[in-house]
Amino acid sequence: MITATSRRFFVLVHILASPKKAFSSPSSDPNCTSSGHNLAYVNIGNNPEGHKPLMMAWMCSGKTHKEMVDRLASAGIIKASINKEAMLSVDRRNYVIDTSRAYDDSPQPIGYGATISAPHMHAHALEELLPPLSRASRDEPTRPLRILDVGCGSGYLTAVFGRMVRPKVMYDERKSPLPSLSRSVPKLNDGKVFGIDVIPQLVQMSKTNMMKEDGDLIDSNTVEFAVGDGWKGYPGGSPYNAIHVGAAAATFPIELMKQLAVGGVMFVPVGPEHGEQYLYRVERVDDRGQVVGLVGSDESRGFHEEDYRIRRVLGVRYVPLVRTD
């Protein structure tokens, strides 16, 4: 039944979807180059040719973390100041294996067939997921935000989400000359970020990486990691204001969609392993079906596709969201 629903759903989405170029504005930075099409730099962990990109939308590499983030911002890929500040405060060097390439705008192998995504893909995910977080903070200023990062891999994006809800307050000026948080940067509610991955060693890697310079996120219980299957989501933390999926689902992950709060948004690549994959922005607009995680929610209400508004964002190539059953 789920398969039939999701097939119908997929067809509906393809009819409704309006493809758009995610990075269509020309770069003002000569170091960020555009390939002129909308297939983004991708996770290709199992590619026998290594990690050579098939195609690339942008190249915003830097010699330092700050330079890389500045280039992403001057290319218009990072737009919101809160995203820029959050990304600046999590040094990518702590989340890669080959630190000599830490600031390359490319995916990199992290073992177990997985890759840390290219910085421009992380930036793009942040831009898509900030609006529901801002809206929820404005509408209910005392309610903690809930964010789920499926396929946390290196832990980098989980850490950046953590910094969006718990900014780094103390910078060591001698070690990392980062600007202090500007007062004009709008603040999100406090919140909790859950990072899950199906590979236990990668969950451990996420924790180890985070402990290097972002350990306060774990100590303060802002970030929690767990081994888990993204197809099933992580009901314990739901309902979520934002869900990021870092691997391509063959069909829309319905159990995960049910874990979105009304107003919540999921950023998810969908498509077959070696076929056409697209990134989708899935927004939950109603609750005719079940909202998992709400006290007193009615399990019998099931899944209603009318609860979701879906937009196709861009073509991508990701490693598959593997099935465990």
Binding site for ligand SAH (CB under 6 A): 43, 114-117, 150-154, 156-157, 196-199, 202, 229-231, 246-247, 319, 321-322
What is the smallest separation between the CB atom of 18 and ligand SAH, expressed in angstroms? 26
Of the candidates 125, 112, 103, the one whose C-alpha atom is nearest the C-alpha of residue 40 is 125
What is the smallest separation between the CB atom of 138 and ligand SAH, expressed in angstroms? 28
What is the smallest separation between the CB atom of 321 and ligand SAH, expressed in angstroms? 4
Identity (one letter) of the amino acid at 129? L
Cβ proximity to ligand SAH, 148 vs 181, nearer residue: 148
Q: Is the dihedral of CA 20, 24, 245, 142 positive or negative?
A: negative
What is the smallest separation between the CB atom of 132 and ligand SAH, expressed in angstroms? 19
CA 281-322-42 angle, to 5 degrees, is 55
Catalytic residue among 27, 61, 106, 117: 117
What is the smallest separation between the CB atom of 118 and ligand SAH, expressed in angstroms? 9
Compute the distance between CA of residue 159 and CA of residue 35 in angstroms, rounded to an integer.
Answer: 29
Q: Is the dihedral of CA 83, 84, 90, 94 positive or negative?
A: positive
Q: Is the dihedral of CA 319, 312, 59, 212 positive or negative?
A: negative
Of the candidates 114, 115, 324, the one whose C-alpha atom is nearest the C-alpha of residue 229 is 324
Cβ proximity to ligand SAH, 185 vs 199, nearer residue: 199
Cβ proximity to ligand SAH, 73 vs 114, nearer residue: 114
Cβ proximity to ligand SAH, 262 vs 322, nearer residue: 322
Cβ proximity to ligand SAH, 248 vs 291, nearer residue: 248
Compute the distance between CA of residue 75 and CA of residue 120 in angstroms, rounded to an integer.
Answer: 10
Whether 180 sits among the annotated catalytic residues: the reply is: no
* CA of residue 115 relative to chain centroid, distance: 14
Go through 65-103 and write b for each residue having 16 or more CB atoms within 10 A of its CB, e for each that does not: bbebbbbbbebbbbebebbbbbbbbbbbbbbbeeeeebb
Annotated catalytic residues are 117
